[in-house]
A and B are shown apart, each in its own frame.
Chain A
Amino acid sequence: MNLTLYVWRQKNADDRGRLEQYEAHGISPEMSFLEMLDIVNEDLIKKATEPIAFDHDCREGICGSCSQVINGVPHGQEEKTSVCQLHMRHFKDGDAIYIEPWRARAFPVIKDLIVDRSALDRIIQAGGYISSHTGGVPDANSILIPKDDAEKAMDAAECIGCGACVAACPNGSAMLFAAAKVSHLAMLPQGQVEAARRVRVMTEEMMKQGFGNCTNHYECQAACPKGIKVSFIAKLNREFIKTLGRSGKISSSVDRMADTLPSE
């Protein structure tokens, strides 16, 4: 099939950028969306035109690199599908396809469709971990965790950090991303120790990185390729409420934690 693409081209962060029109010829339905772009790029290279820069790595839906807004939907119309897993059989001959990068202040465009998503890493660095020594691999069932909790924690841990939630959110909020990590760790005994500090520093860091506030549009859940639910945001809110009125205790526990961390 043949398609008309309108692709966002932007040389670098300072360039203003614009949509450019390209024709994609001889696309087969079993190609993935990224393979379709590969073909278009080969064409462009033959014509001595700069190929379209786009992010990708695993191409099997687990790394979260492929970040494109396709016809107004992050990762395209198909539910729970990353761009690399989106197949061309969902399009028909003659379709016009708009391809744009994630848009949010916290995600500056590096080039064309590639944005800098390291702001998400900084949210994790702020508190999305546990700081206790976990030692060697523990014996199975040495720490008992109710099945429901284990499953919910796994659901939250499915987040691949792709940033589609931010791209979809009218406020450019990363609340679903933060909520997935806060919930994942707060549901497991190893994570509960630092739960109070974690929810505070992660939401604080989110604002520092230039993400917006959550106003419960629920766009994020609909756009998430892993189907992370907004009920994790409600869980984050509950975790936050639990910390109210104990500011002093939280900061002193942070200091103590810093003391016990091994120095580099």
Chain B
Amino acid sequence: MQFLIKSSVGKKLIMAITGQLMFLFIVFHLIGNTSLYFSWINTYAKHLHDLWPLVWIVRFVMITLLSLHLVFGIQLTLENRSAKPDAYAIKKSLRATFASKNMIWTGLIIAGFLLYHLLHFTFQVVHPEMSAKLNTDVMGLPDLFSMIVFGFQNFFILSLYIASLIALTLHLVHGLQSSFQTMGLNTDQTQPVIAKAGVIASLILLIGYASIPVVIFIGIVKG
């Protein structure tokens, strides 16, 4: 175990495994969020919170994954920077992309966003007056639906979410295919297919997640 966190490939494997598990989480999170379109979200949230031991297990696992990913991501980046102290006067990128060269920045944007996102919808301190802890719907359930709709009617909050989603998309465009290479789960034949599938999956997530605040902002879903 100690060897794993000390070695270069070991650290990369931790990045790849934690990254893929977090990817799975955001896939399920999106499926859950679509309940907003069917106005089920308050009931969905209630069912989820009735399973509170499960919710806490998932929260604990996610915090662990995120911390590992964050710590090793920063450490790897620092090591890599120090291995290349002098820049070229001219350097052409042959295969590296904007996404691959900015993993640490897109990653840190995601981290900052997560903090805000939790304050907004989990701890509900961004708009305390709209907190679902205070307001209930006609069924007497905490009114998440109104809280969400109110939040996304604000252009600043909308832009923040969209910008963060773009950062996440870039992170995954490089990260998903990269994680297969890191784990050695590819061949010369499958790698181009994996790379394409990764881009498509990232774009589906972008469209899926972005649709909710956009649809609210332009007023298709109303409070």
Contacts and interface: CB of A to CB of B under 8 A. Distances in A.
A172 B80 contact: yes
B96 A217 contact: yes
Contact of A235 (B11, B100, B184): B184
A231 B187 CA distance: 6
B47 interface: no
B17 to A, nearest CB: 11
Given A215-B100, A229-B188, A247 B88 contact: no
A104 B83 contact: yes
Interface in A158-177: 168-173, 175
A203 B101 contact: no
A21 B198 CA distance: 45
A39 to B, nearest CB: 23
Contact of B96 (A69, A170, A234): A170
A33 interface: no
Nearest to B16: A237
A233 B12 CA distance: 12
Report the contact-size class of chain B (Cβ under 8 Å from the partner).
35 or more
B88 A72 contact: yes
Contacts of B9: 199, 203, 236-237, 240
B96 A206 contact: no
A223 interface: yes
A171 B82 CA distance: 8
Given A172-B80, A215-B76, A215-B100, A238 B184 contact: yes
B183 interface: yes
Contacts of A244: 4
Contact of A207 (B8, B94, B96, B188): B8
B88 A69 contact: yes
Q: How large is the interface on A (under 10, 10 to 19, 20 to 34, 35 or more residues)?
A: 35 or more
A212 B88 contact: no
Interface in B62-118: 76, 79-80, 82-97, 100-101, 103
A89 B184 CA distance: 40
A168 B94 contact: yes
B153 interface: no
Nearest to A19: B89
B95 A213 contact: no
Q: Which of B8, B76, B87, B182 has the largest count of A CB atoms less than 10 A from its CB? A: B8
A100 interface: yes
30 contacts: A8-B89, A72-B88, A103-B84, A104-B83, A106-B83, A170-B101, A171-B80, A171-B84, A200-B7, A204-B7, A206-B8, A210-B83, A212-B84, A215-B12, A215-B76, A216-B177, A217-B97, A219-B94, A222-B94, A231-B188, A234-B181, A234-B186, A236-B9, A237-B13, A240-B7, A240-B10, A240-B13, A241-B13, A241-B184, A247-B3
Interface of A: 6, 8, 19, 69, 71-73, 98, 100, 103-106, 168-173, 175, 199-200, 203-204, 206-207, 210-219, 221-223, 229-231, 233-238, 240-241, 244, 247
